[in-house]
Chain A
């Protein structure tokens, strides 16, 4: 019974009982979007370039003659294509993104603006040093902030992500053992079972044998087990602190003491630095090397999987082995040391072609300067407060993996509370999607069954946390009440239903190919 206006246009919605499928498969604002290869873009272009005066014939048989297989789109089509795709993504700008261990916090747009200043974005890595003094000043300033916040004497800026930073740290440790003639016997790296996958992968990448260290009942490194495995065949330990269970390693000073007594180095995975920035300096914990994910703690955007940056702070013992290049500041201004042979140090080499992720350095420094020392301390406090608030508000319905004592910046639950419901952690996560939330990290850390690791970060308001908690509580109650269908088939309201990952891996299709019989390129 709809109301009509004077020209007969309904002014209120009709009452419709059923929800018919659309005729085209479209769903309101959510557009179906074909691949760029499936349109009419063969031969098209969205750029206007002057006509070349030559045809490249001076290059003779080096010239590429066969079709390449690259469709083009006009500018409006390009914009539509990518905007339509964008609307199928969750994003931190849309809602809380509680992926544990990932530190999905607000990305200030000032940082984007600063990184795009031509003085930073439009300079070449090999310009004369006299023409990039401001860039080197920025790197030097960033280094000062990182060293001060961590209480460490040196930093290698060039690693391009966290895992690359781990590589840098372990290479420095290896170089130090080589310098002291101990490398041949020190071939093991001790890694707790709760570690990020990158830790054992990096240790193996550098040629070490990985030995796992057990965890205690309360989610921390088993110091007795560690002590029993430390010896003169151990090169380093790799410990995440706060660890991947979201807990601070209470025995951290004992762990570093034992490690150093055994002649090994302490590599700290700094992925969780957000929990302690401004309140605890890793240098005071006996750390020898720690990477800092600028794309986590210092909010350079994750960009759908990078680019990140993973500078590594180093202790006095490891500083001489830092890779090239690095910045020095003296009476003549800033210099970039690009070859380790240039200085009286024992650098282990070079990790990438140029200076690392300058664009991320600018964003990170912009973020740090905005907060200041006091603001960064508040970051850690609010991040920890938010996580504990979530834990406190959910632990009556869901089972906290380590209920006793506070957590740090992330709250860890297991699937004990789902026992008997026939609902898995994965089902629960997919149902969260239907409620408009990105799921937490699932099934990590591996030491907790059906793990659900929730990291809210400090940039969530109390109102957003309450909204999230409300949804989680409703879902938990539904799960316990046996509303299984809501979970088993979820998500129902996302752009796609649950995807068949097994099929993707069994017979991989990793690229578009022209249908058989078509005359399209490639």
Chain B
């Protein structure tokens, strides 16, 4: 087997050094009843060529985003990732290293994490950010739990504009510890409705902007209402590029930002791995979940970086930890930070404008189709439309014509009574020709 360096002679010599007669001697502690005599019922060793063929055959059965007019979003976005990003993250020293527990020989990882934390803090408009969580949805769940620790209150009010899968993933976890949630009904302009639900027991209000229907909202008034009641405002962002054009959550008064960073540096990957961005205010850092990298000096007084505030974490605090998270999204944070360094503020702002421009062009093309109603007024790169038919059926029909037309809202929330709503996203990768094909084909499918 090509990954196993020991030769039969090595094994014999090593067993002799140990004083064992056979390899079985080393497994004596396994109860006899549980020992397998031979290999389990699975295929045997396979060469690179065979594995490549088998997996490539599976890959070939999927319609790839880059090969068709593509308008899917709803929490995962198709962006161009510069070639440099994927090259650098495959360098051995990044790809094949562990969590930086020995800082003297992990300064590479620690410095990029420190830079990442600074970039995320500035992007979200917040004072501090951690070294990542698994993804945006788990970041939201952690945000709610953190808010209950900070406020010592037990209830989260969740806007009807938050991605339904984020709501579900959060409720699954926080309900287990007895945190109550009030998830408001889905609506294209759902945000303001949270204000009336804030009460003395509210730990946090969760809003998403742009929301799942694409609506971009200034949440300043919601922040004020939450703060007046002693609650925290959690702002969820599923499209990180939007912060290059829209007011940052920090500017609008967020206390915690839980965002999905996939859009910067990371591929679609059928849903993972992604990278959860988590940022907050200075006074709350000791309640933050996840790894934090901090600045310090070495014995000679030279600047260096270490993982810090680990007394919040599971390996020190065990059952008193702020979270159970250990492994997070290391290499995805590297992809994020490289792409962000390439973009810089100039590139990010331009990229964000291009996204918005493509979405506006797509909206304009679809608005001209009889029967198609544009539901989202102010949006970044994604908007919702109401179709005269079931949206999932329309998407399936268009997929038959090799067009991935968007995400039917019913896919996320079958019971919301929005079977005719389609979420459509455009990015810098969207061609004008793609927009024309979508408009033409949609008209045809709708019989307009």
Contact = CB atoms under 8 A, between A and B. Distances in A.
A498 B103 CA distance: 8
Interface in A188-207: 196-198, 200-207
Interface in B88-103: 88-103
Contacts of B376: none
Nearest to B128: A510
A56 B245 contact: yes
A141 B54 CA distance: 11
A307 B332 contact: yes
Given A375-B4, A389-B14, A511-B114, A67 B97 contact: no
A47 B342 contact: yes
Contact of B271 (A49, A68, A117, A358): A358
B171 interface: yes
A201 B404 contact: no
Interface in A265-320: 276, 278-281, 284-285, 293, 295, 301-309
B130 to A, nearest CB: 8
B245 A384 contact: no
A499 B30 contact: no
A55 B298 contact: no
B31 A250 contact: yes
The CB with the most chain B CB atoms within 10 A, among A46, A66, A196, A500, is that of A46
Interface stretch (B185-193, B323-331, B435-443): B323-331
B433 interface: no
A180 interface: no
A70 B295 contact: no
Contacts of B36: 278-281, 377
Contact of B27 (A46, A61, A137, A384): A384
B370 interface: no
B201 interface: no
Given A358-B270, A373-B40, A510-B128, A301 B105 contact: no
Given A75-B84, A126-B74, A162-B327, A47 B347 contact: yes
Contacts, number: 717
A344 to B, nearest CB: 16
Interface in A41-57: 41-47, 49-56
A387 B60 CA distance: 41
B390 interface: no
A224 interface: no
A278 B41 CA distance: 10
B196 interface: no
A82 B75 CA distance: 29
B26 A73 contact: no
Contacts of A110: 48, 51-52
Interface stretch (B135-143, B152-160, B223-231): B135-143
B345 A43 contact: yes
Contact of A50 (B57, B112, B314, B354): B354
Contacts of A44: 344, 346
Interface stretch (A1-9, A364-372, A415-423, A475-483): A364-372
A187 to B, nearest CB: 12
Q: Which 4 A-B residue pairs are closest in the complex by CB-CB distance?
A: A72-B344, A119-B59, A354-B271, A134-B61
26 contacts: A45-B344, A59-B356, A71-B341, A78-B84, A81-B341, A85-B111, A91-B96, A114-B51, A122-B66, A127-B65, A131-B62, A161-B327, A279-B35, A280-B27, A305-B98, A307-B328, A352-B165, A354-B165, A372-B46, A374-B45, A375-B3, A388-B18, A458-B6, A495-B105, A497-B104, A503-B296
